[in-house]
Structure 1
Amino acid sequence: MTSSTQRTQRTRTGRITVLVALAVFAQESTWNLYDSQVPPLLREHLGSAALIGALMGMDNVLGIFIQPWMGNRSDRTRTSWGRRMPYLLAGMPVAALLFLVIPHVAASLPLLVLVMFGYALVANSFKPIAESLLPDFVPPERRSRANAVVKIAASLTVMVAALISIFLIDTHPKLSFAIPAVLMVVSLVVLAANVRDSRSPAYRTAVAEEREHHGTPAPAARVRDTVLDIVRDTDRSRLLLIAAILLFGGAWAASRALITPYGMEVLGMSRGEAGGLTLPSGVAFIVAAYPVARLAERFGRLRVMTAGMTVFVAGMVLGTVVPTPGGAVTALCVASAGASAFLVNAVVVLWNLAPSDRVVGTYTGLYTVGWVSGGFLGPAVVGGLVDLTGWPLLLLHVAIVALLAVLAVARVGVLQRRSSAGRAL
């Protein structure tokens, strides 16, 4: 490949990375404000924290079922626009409209729940589709750094939601919901003006594979076929990786969901002080994300993931050994920096383990299933261990769950070293 061709490819890769990051930024801006500001609206009608939590968890339950199915459906779509863009063009405006309506129907609980359900249904439908544009356009060897940019964009939305909450939500609640909705529409306009994923290398490869094997265009494997292929494969790499995603997702979620009561019970902090323990670690994640992506592309994704997860475990152990507010903040920063190695690279490894470009959307959905399932189970399992041993050992229990994920990824590394497939892992 000539130097001019390489420069052209890098330019195209950078351009699509920015466009996908913009789309994900807009989507996650609505999700983060939804998570922070819809519970107070529900609380005006409901006195049960459990019921509020169940309604807020509805989007995760829907995501487990919808995202793999929609990712697979986009894999099997063939249009002049490509296989992803038609769903984004249809879904993003509807999701933006439903999100905009939320504060306008807040006075009626049935209407509020109905709009919440509609928003969660539509937004979950195109979430894996937008993310799948990345492997469609970006070659395997450069996917880590591209995904790092997308993860940084998603992380920044936490700050955007916090700023909207601080400066607007009390005085202009309807305007607060309008801002992320407008961002989503603007990002869609930019995407529509610049992206035709029918021109992507993955789309063209998928169409070529279908014609080569079947003579005429044929649909990609359905979700059930893809899952059975993973389960029945004698090389357990994909199954072990999904298990690692579930385990590490559980450890990450537990370290976030239970840190406020930990700060209150163990460190003697107020609710507000304890709630701020994770803020510096968010900055640590953003700072570490791109460097670990570059390291992964140089030294191997599985090696860097294993090292980063080990750093996460070490951070949790440090927090257990030094049970002070400063120790907790330091531990969470170390852990978040280490976790970035997994969060940036895990889905890339799963994409690269896919047997064909025809199923990368399905694999994006399966990644979400593993991560969200861990988000459900992790806090519950770790919370049960805390009930048995006490709050001082919370971070140690998180470390144990994460260590199981380390072992799973290390095993994937062993299996891949034995393989001669030569994939970019």
Structure 2
Amino acid sequence: MMHHDAPPSSSSASSAVVTPLTSAPLSTPGRMRGRTVLWVTLAVFAQESVWNFYDAQVPTQLRHYLTSAGLVGLFMGLDNVLGVFIQPWTGHLSDRHARGRRGRWPIILVGASLAAVPFALIPRAGSLPVLLACVVGFAAIANAFKGVTETLVPDYVAPGDRSKAQGFVKAGVSLTIVVSSLISLLVIDRSTTLAFAIPPLLMLVVLGLSWAFLGRHHATAVLPDPAGVPGDAGSPAAGGEIPSPWAVVKDLVRAPTGPRALLMTGVFCFAGMWSALRSLLTPYGTEVLGLSRGEAGALALPGAVAFLCAVVPLAYVSGRLGQIRAIRYGVGLFVVGLLAGVPFPTPGVTVVSMVMATVGYAVFAVNALVALWNLAPDSRALGTYTGLYTVASASGMAFGPALLGVTVDLTDWRYMFLNAAVLGAVTFAVFTLLVRRNRAGAARAGAVPADPPG
């Protein structure tokens, strides 16, 4: 694409409509529009700040009425179940309007406004049925726009810059832990009602500001589809009907060893292992390392700091390597990190092991969704693919802890890191096969692979 201040040539003017923000700063690697990435990052930060506080404080609200930890965990897991069913379809709905005058923003803004109500009412619930209605109501509505907000990245950032943009997005998401912790520390003991009102208010204000910068000018800011067709992507003029989630799933089933199916499998496996490691790290610390519950709970803190420090530089490096190849290296580092913690199970070694594993996970977190966007056969279905990414990751997060827990039951807590490394090696094999398929497909076609070097 040409610079927005350069006059278009006659050939380009006749073939497509080039809008001001679809210019070189958006499309040329290394020249992202900083303000655009900032507001996209803040939009994702806004919704994730609510989810983080939800995960931190809703279990305590449920404990007022439930004595069973299993039931509390069951209700807290409902948001993942609802996401599996809701996000692909709302993503598909948003795809139909992504290139329209308002884009995906009506779904995001209306969804955020509606979700804020049951969230703010959670501490006011006077009975278990009312509390569950608020919890389920929030989870259902918030899932409806969660994936849609994440799809703002490919709407406003060109393919060559999406890994770098995701680095900033993930760094912003990691900061929601700080926001949630501060609200819990400074407010919740004084007023639970006020504490539950702050995150949705923050979400609405920041999303409103993001819309003011991006959404109000959506028709001229959004990237065009590759065919250069202006207007609503859901219109007949835009090249036919957008593939539905069911059609995409059938395509994956028909080609179970194709790149998209392999990537979904890899996402399922790695998300599952990461969730399992985080879920069982505290009991590992108490059972194997002899730590107190509080000390064991802090084992992941250095890794979290490493994630925050490394995620943006890793995003820039990944842009040069290509997303899928970078993920393969990240999975390899994850496995090596776990193996490093096996021979000498001490707190210091375990912290080093977790730092290495967390940096490996950071590579995955930055690149996995971008790789799936790049493999989408139709650029107008990116919202649908974001929803399917949620299906794969949420399913892995649901099964992963149970699977690793079974291996611990069969062996011993002492071998948890080794068991996780073995299961991680399966993920490494999946991404190794995916890299080879990409290269072979590119060689046969004599074209650039779907995982470009950036």
User: What TM-score does the superposition give when structure 2 sets the normalisation length?
Assistant: 0.88
The structural deviation recorded for 1:372 is: 0.7
Report matched runs for 1:227-306 at 5 Å: 227-233=249-255, 236-306=258-328
Give the aligned length.
Answer: 424
Residue equivalent to 2:65: 45
Residue equivalent to 1:72: 92
Structure 2's unaligned 5+ residue stretches are 6-22
Which of 150, 158, 178 is the matching residue for 2:169? 150
Q: Is the contact made by 2:226 and 2:379 (CA closer than 8 Å) also made in structure 1?
A: no
Q: 2:83 aligned with 1:28, yes or no?
A: no
Residue equivalent to 1:126: 145
Q: Is the contact made by 2:112 and 2:142 (CA closer than 8 Å) also made in structure 1?
A: yes
Structure-1 separation of matches of 2:224 and 2:380: 7
Report matched runs for 1:8-407 at 5 Å: 13-77=33-97, 80-105=100-125, 107-196=126-215, 197-199=218-220, 200-202=222-224, 207=229, 215=237, 218-233=240-255, 236-407=258-429
Q: Is the contact made by 1:205 and 1:357 (CA closer than 8 Å) also made in structure 2?
A: no
Residue equivalent to 1:408: 430
The structural deviation recorded for 1:80 is: 4.6
Structure-1 separation of matches of 2:350 and 2:306: 14
> Residue 351 of structure 1 aligns to a residue in which SS?
helix
Q: Is the contact made by 2:342 and 2:418 (CA closer than 8 Å) also made in structure 1?
A: yes
Structure 1's unaligned 5+ residue stretches are none
Residue equivalent to 2:15: none
Instruction: Kindly provide the CA deviation profile for residues 60-113 of structure 1, in whole angstroms up to 9, marking residues without a partner as x.
Output: 1100111111111111236853331110121011112221111121x3111110
Letter in 2 for 1:98: P
User: What TM-score does the superposition give when structure 1 sets the normalisation length?
Assistant: 0.94
Q: Is the contact made by 1:284 and 1:336 (CA closer than 8 Å) also made in structure 2?
A: yes
Instruction: Kindly provide the CA deviation profile for residues 330-367 of structure 1, in whole angstroms up to 9, marking residues without a partner as x.
Output: 11111111111111001101000001111000110111
- Structure ranking higher in helix proportion: 1
The structural deviation recorded for 1:137 is: 1.7
**Residues 6 and 53 of structure 1: CA distance in aligned 2, closer, same or farther (over 3 Å):** same
The structural deviation recorded for 1:33 is: 0.9
Q: Is the contact made by 1:16 and 1:134 (CA closer than 8 Å) also made in structure 2?
A: no
Structure-2 separation of matches of 1:172 and 1:18: 32
Letter in 1 for 2:146: K
Letter in 2 for 1:130: T
